[in-house]
Amino acid sequence: MNEKRLKKAIEEGRVILGKKSVLRELKNGRLEAVIVAVNCPYSEDIKRYAKLSGVEIEEFPGTGKNLGTFCGKPFSVASIGIRREKP
């Protein structure tokens, strides 16, 4: 996932933050991609569900703090999900 695509998803409001929300949306098949920070403590759980759901998963090259800053949040974000575009 490139930065341009991620920025577009953030601007469109299709980004979900946090473990519980990402896992719930993965289980319901509503995500097109998942991004986890390199220091995400629960990345194995998310990667397992993403693989079962056939969802693209990428590792953000920075920490959770860097990912939070990239998303425009004043806090650390270890994982984000990107919802599918509505047809």
pLDDT tens, position by position, 26-55 = 999 999 999 999 998 888 889 899 999 899
The CATH number that applies at residue 37 is 3.30.1330.30
Provide DSSP, 3-68: HHHHHHHHHHT-EEESHHHHHHHHHTT-EEEEEEETT-TTHHHHHHHHHHHT-EEEEESS-HHHHH
pLDDT of amino acid 15 = 93
Of the candidates 17, 8, 2, 5, the residue with the CA atom closest to the CA atom of residue 73: 17
Domain tally for the chain?
1
**Is-contact 83 32, C-beta < 8 A?**
yes
pLDDT at 87 over 60: no
**Is-contact 34 79, C-beta < 8 A?**
yes
**Which residue segment(s) compose the domain that 37 sits in?**
3-83
